[in-house]
Chain A
Amino acid sequence: MSHLEKDSFGAKLGMWLFLFTEMLLFGGVFILYSVYLTRYPKEFGLGGHQLDLVYGATNTVVLLTSSLFAAMSVTAIKSGAKKLTLGLLSGTVGCAFIFLGIKYLEWSAKFHHGIYPNSPKLIAGPPGESIFFGLYYLTTGLHGIHVIVGAVLMTWTAVMVQKERLNANDNVTLENVTLYWHLVDLVWIFIFPLYYLIL
């Protein structure tokens, strides 16, 4: 059945379209961010100072490293280096776990200070502050879910590589999953300055 031949260009086209929709999904949150930033510049500034720059910066480095691993895994599989591919993929998944661990520490520190959605402290505070933290939890939470999904996909691809269902000749799935991972990384590259740096 000739039509079952893989059209890897088509597969990548489909993936790009899907990534586009993901960007738009986050785009919705960024629209809200920009509108409320112009409305509450002072509260956003104060909110931003309460976020921990060290956690944020570490996580940025972790994610960038993971993206590097992911990109290298594509080169590796194309040259037929199965072991190396598997190593790089586990590196990526490992980074995902570190990222989530740091996120956990960061969130629990905030919770500890009484800053969480609908908390008495936020309700009593100025409106702009609760909006800031509302957006913060929403954006990083949504991003966190994407990290988890990405890690699951990465693990699944690693299994496929192990079984040699993905190999030097047929690897578009790995490429697509890597593309997804780059998106997760890219979104964070926006979140980090918007919430931690510029305010």
Chain B
Amino acid sequence: MSQESAMAEGGFWRDTGRTGIGAWIFSTDHKRIGLMYLYCVLGFFLVGAFLGLLIRLELMAPGPTIMTAQTYNAMFTVHGVVMIFLFIIPGIPASFGNLVLPIQLGARDVAFPRVNLFSWWLYAIGAVIVLTSLFTGGGAPDTGWTFYVPFSARTTTNVSLAVFGVFVLGFSSILTGINFITTIHRMRAPGMTWTRIPLFTWSLYATAWVQVLATPIIAITLLLVVTERILGLGLFDPTRGGDPVMYQHMFWIYSHPAVYIMILPGMGVISDIIPVFSRKPIFGYKMIAFSSLAIAAAGSAVWGHHMYTSGMSDLGVLVFSFLTFIVAIPSAIKVFNWVSTMYKGSISLEAPMLFALSFILLFSIGGLSGLILGAAATDIHVHDTHFVVGHFHYVMFGGTGFAFFAAAHYWLPKYFGRRYQEKPAIIGWVLMFIGFNILYFTMQVLGMEGMPRRYYDYLPEFARLNFVATVGSWIMLAGVAIVVWNLWRGLFKGEPFIGNPWGGASLEWSIATPPPTENFEEDPVVSHGPYDFKGAGVP
């Protein structure tokens, strides 16, 4: 097949069988499922970002600006719910994981293709339920994405439906995790030993375990909120003998590990991109792979750091504080290994690499501010202030969000057979990076000075910095708009992307572009590691 004809119309894009939308929403091909996730996830990101913009507009000046206090409460709740459950948790694993993981292993599909399709449907249905909850019942939920009792049990807004939607989404996440674990154990090509698995897939392996082991806890916790509201069991109601702090424990037993569902895949993306754009094998492959598992394991025991101020015992605070600091070790190992990989490499600063580099910086800032929150003494000062909001945006958006865009620039041309333009990509990246820091660094300063989180109004002292942060949000979103537009245009209309332009050595770069429906014309036999560029014959 000539390279030209392999473009966009070729490969798995060419449909055999169903046509139209049915060829997508009933397809069990992991690549189509991956792309469907990608479109949904990206769409929700844009919706969430728009809500974030509105929140920032409201906070631009003291007093009422563009919305009422109740709308504001709904706004940050919906922003949080959309970003967390619809964008960042499924973000990289479900979209890029589905696109890339089987190919990196040398498999023709995931272990359970039909379950895979089913979990996309669950995702779509869960998303529709969540969206329905915004416009029906007593109005959009206003509890914050954490659904803390007793407020979530009492408020008249549409919490039950939203929570049920999140329950369905959790199911989808569990099934994806089971699918990936089984695929990695059972479907590796001959010669694909555990130490030849690309680090992106390794990170998805660790993530999948967290998805499987942590998600059921939030499922039951959310069911409890619903029963609390509908049946009035009173399990978290102090007047009936229940304990609201128990809710917080159960919520964070999931939601802290969920943070690793959000960040580990991002780290995996970076581990794959850095060596390719540095033209050097990754430094400390085993340490990076192992530290993913270590983060997943240690990260499951630190949920209590969200509750230092809830009236836990002093011993509890001490233990959780100690454990929290331990998680920093494997994270730091990764950062050092990425930096060492670049040392004396011949670095090419193309878009994927720029996003990867900014990931390292922003994630480090987020991680270090996390230590301030992990130490009980300082956390008591900044708990529930804008410092926290700044911190988790550095980790989640500066980390995973930037990794998501790095992955998009790195892998998507492979699946579309066309590429984006370099210049707008870089301009968009610069704006995103600058705006991001203006927005979230300012938030951290505000928090240090005592501006609380989730407040509609604030003291005049905070006016100037809030204004600065809002301007930052405009710059950042301008960058996001350019990046998304450029990707979209490029992937459908851009120049052909042929062969292996980045010079990657993992299996996805050894097959046709776009990949054929069954990935491999003949089953591959793996004879070299994913970062062994010489072994792969990459010059």
Contact = CB atoms under 8 A, between A and B. Distances in A.
Does B bind A? yes
Interface of A: 1-3, 7, 9-11, 13-14, 17-18, 20-22, 24-29, 31-32, 35-36, 39-40, 117-118, 123, 126-128, 130-131, 134-135, 137-138, 142
Contacts of A1: 108, 518
B221 A18 contact: no
A1 B223 CA distance: 42
Contacts of A40: 241
Interface residues on B, range: 35 or more
Given A13-B182, A117-B232, A130-B234, A21 B112 contact: no
Interface stretch (B75-83, B211-219, B357-365, B485-493): B211-219
Contacts of A22: 216
B250 A134 contact: no
B242 interface: yes
Contacts of A18: 174, 178
20 contacts: A3-B109, A20-B212, A21-B178, A21-B215, A24-B213, A25-B219, A25-B220, A28-B219, A117-B231, A117-B232, A118-B231, A118-B234, A123-B240, A126-B241, A131-B235, A131-B242, A134-B240, A135-B235, A137-B231, A138-B224
A25 B216 contact: yes
Contacts of B234: 118, 130-131, 134
Given A40-B241, A123-B240, A13 B185 contact: yes
B227 interface: yes
B101 interface: no
A14 B182 contact: yes
B182 A127 contact: no
A173 to B, nearest CB: 12
Contacts of A35: 243, 246
A20 B220 CA distance: 14
A28 B221 contact: yes
Interface in B173-192: 174, 177-179, 181-182, 185-187
A131 B212 CA distance: 29
Interface string B265-302: 00000000000000000000000000000000000000
B111 interface: yes
B62 to A, nearest CB: 43
Contact of B240 (A2, A28, A127): A127
Given A3-B518, A135-B235, A9 B186 contact: yes
A10 B185 CA distance: 8
Contacts of A131: 234-235, 240-242
A7, A11, A131: most-surrounded residue (chain B CB, <10 A): A131
B212 A128 contact: no
- Counting from the closest, the 5 A-B pairs by CB-CB distance are A127-B241, A28-B220, A118-B232, A134-B233, A24-B216
B107 interface: yes
Contact of A138 (B115, B177, B233): B233
A21, A26, A27, A142: most-surrounded residue (chain B CB, <10 A): A21
A138 B231 CA distance: 10
A17 B246 contact: no
B33 to A, nearest CB: 16
A100 B111 CA distance: 35
B303 to A, nearest CB: 12
A138 B217 CA distance: 15
Contact of A3 (B107, B178, B185, B242): B107
Contacts of B221: 28
A130 B216 contact: no
B111 A10 contact: yes
Contact of B250 (A2, A26, A31, A137): A31
A10 B186 contact: yes
Contacts of B523: 2
B241 A128 contact: yes
A14 B179 contact: yes
Given A21-B216, A25-B219, A138-B233, 20 more contacts: A1-B108, A2-B523, A7-B186, A10-B182, A10-B187, A13-B186, A14-B115, A18-B174, A21-B212, A21-B215, A26-B220, A28-B216, A28-B220, A28-B250, A32-B235, A40-B241, A118-B234, A127-B241, A130-B240, A138-B235
B246 A28 contact: no
Nearest to B209: A17
A36 B220 CA distance: 17
Nearest to B213: A24
Contacts of A27: 216-217
A159 to B, nearest CB: 18
Given A14-B179, A117-B233, A24 B217 contact: yes
A71 to B, nearest CB: 24
Contacts of B181: 13, 17
A126 B179 CA distance: 47
Contacts of B179: 14
B213 A14 contact: no
A126 B241 CA distance: 8
Contacts of A29: 220
Interface string B230-267: 01111100011111001000100000000000000000
Contacts of A21: 174, 178, 212-213, 215-216
Contacts of A31: 250
Contacts of A123: 240
A7 B185 CA distance: 12
Contacts of B107: 3
Contacts of B187: 10
A34 B212 CA distance: 23
A9 B234 CA distance: 44
Contacts of B219: 25, 28
A52 B182 CA distance: 43
Given A31-B250, A123-B240, A130-B240, A14 B108 contact: no
A3 B242 CA distance: 52
A3, A123, A126: most-surrounded residue (chain B CB, <10 A): A3
Interface string B95-131: 0000000000001110110010000000000000000
B538 to A, nearest CB: 28
